[in-house]
Amino acid sequence: MTTTERKLLTADDLLRLYAQGVRGELIRGVLYETMSAGQEHGEIVMRLGYRLMAFIDPRKLGRLVASDSGVWLERDPDTVREPDIAYFSAEKIPPGVRVTGYAEVAPDLVVEIRSPGDSRREINDKARMWLSYGVGLVWVVHPDTRTVDLHRGGHSVAVLTEDDFLDGLEALPGFTCPVREIFDL
């Protein structure tokens, strides 16, 4: 093997590495380690996750997961990405079905929260990547500007301010939340 070649990892390799304390994503077999994004990021995940769970659970609409759950998007070479929050409808992962590894279907809704090290272009490229795998709705949260970019296939990006409302649209019909509430400490 030359110095420019590297061994591609599999989704199973990634699970084993996680058990050893290595956190990251696979993109076509290449490991990209991820780091903690900080307090503000975590608080936004919890505030929005709480509101989503309060809507989803009583209605038995599906499942909500956090970033380290992972979604297996491609095989051979494997791609496993970690959205900050993902919602899977009960149609995609039926109640009672135990998922012990990575989900192998695209979520209905993905939330990505811009970390301090992310450029606006990188995070919007990630949103387009999710759409290309069949995710119906992506919310990109920007803590610095207190805005949310709403991405849907075939539509232009809508920018929501803290005076607007998040809407689940077709991905999570009936869900709404004031954007301001996900930022208020």
Residue matched to tokens 């990021």: 41
Measured CA to CA, the distance from residue 48 to residue 152 in angstroms comes to 19
Please list the pLDDT of the chain residue by residue as tens digits (185 residues): 444 567 899 999 999 998 898 888 999 999 998 877 788 989 999 999 999 999 999 999 999 998 878 999 999 999 999 999 999 999 999 998 999 899 999 999 999 999 888 888 899 899 999 999 999 999 999 999 999 999 998 888 999 999 999 999 999 999 999 999 999 86
Percent of the chain exceeding pLDDT 70 equals: 97
Whether the ω angle into residue 143 lies within 30 degrees of 0, i.e. cis, is no
List, for residues 155-174, the tens digit of each pLDDT value: 889 999 999 999 999 999 99
Q: Domain spans of the chain?
A: 37-183
Q: What is the third-level CATH fold of 37-183?
A: tt1808, chain A (3.90.1570)
Q: Which of 163, 165, 152, 160 is nearest to 110 (CA)?
A: 152
pLDDT digits (tens, 9 = 90+) for 21-30: 888 899 999 9
Q: For residue 77, how far is the Cα from the chain centroid?
A: 21
